[in-house]
Chain A
Amino acid sequence: EVQLVQSGAEVKKPGESLKISCKGSGYSFTSYWIGWVRQMPGKGLEWMGLIHPGDSDTRYSPSFQGQVTISADKSISTAYLQWSSLKASDTAIYYCARHGRATGSYFGQGTLVTVSS
């Protein structure tokens, strides 16, 4: 059974850094793209970017290029989303998702990030 288990909710102050994680199991971690989707309060879904853990090829959506860093550690089947300096506007639920053309995207349970002074 495919599972994506994300790290827990975070409360941070503006300017702080943060790294959240997503551990995959039940499939070959290096055979699928894995990425991050943002959902701001009351809003729709936005792909931020994806990484292929097999070769670390990383693609960012233009809106998120330079704003976040996506990485993966294939030795522990875990993907990461990182901010160096959070803003209040980063408050959102972040979903990790595995994607394959034939299988579509499978989502984790989501991580709520709250940025507030």
Chain B
Amino acid sequence: DFVLTQTPLSLSVTPGQPASISCKSSESLLHIDGKTYLYWYLQKPGQSPHLLISEVSSRFSGVPERFSGSGSGTDFTLKISRVEAEDVGVYYCMQGIRLPLTFGGGTKVEIK
């Protein structure tokens, strides 16, 4: 099974400052179709998770431009250019190259 390791476990960020979350996979997420199936989700307090980014770097409809994803193979990063109060919650990476799907352990983002 794929193992996704996220770091850090938690972040406390001053509004307006950047934040970065790492996700490392135990195996390459590059599919034979040439695409890399790594997703990022945000679960706000008391809510269901929702998609932020698909295929490493494609922002989902309505996701602010301050969110960006990058990486390849086994190493990936989610960046928030300027954190806002509404960005609090737990961020998860997820692999979609092979079933069953698997999540990283999550990174909790709080506002200072």
Contacts and interface: CB of A to CB of B under 8 A. Distances in A.
B54 A35 contact: no
Contact-residue size bin, chain B (C-beta under 8 Å from the other chain) = 20 to 34
A37 B49 CA distance: 10
A104 B100 contact: no
Contacts, number: 64
B50 interface: yes
Nearest to B99: A59
Contact of B92 (A33, A44, A101): A44
Interface in B30-62: 35, 37, 39, 41, 43, 48-51, 54-55, 60
Contacts of A59: 99-100
Contact of B39 (A33, A37, A47, A104): A104
A105 B101 contact: yes
Contacts of B37: 101
A107 B92 contact: no
Interface stretch (B10-18, B19-27, B75-83, B102-110): B102-110
B94 A105 contact: yes
User: Main secondary structure on chain A at its contact with chain B?
Assistant: strand
Interface of B: 1, 35, 37, 39, 41, 43, 48-51, 54-55, 60, 90, 92, 94, 96, 99-103, 105-106
Given A45-B106, A59-B100, 15 more contacts: A35-B101, A37-B49, A44-B106, A45-B41, A61-B100, A62-B1, A95-B49, A102-B55, A104-B54, A105-B51, A105-B94, A105-B101, A106-B51, A107-B49, A108-B48
Interface of A: 33, 35, 37, 44-50, 59-62, 95, 99, 101-110
11 contacts: A45-B43, A61-B1, A61-B100, A62-B1, A101-B35, A102-B54, A105-B51, A105-B96, A106-B51, A107-B48, A107-B49
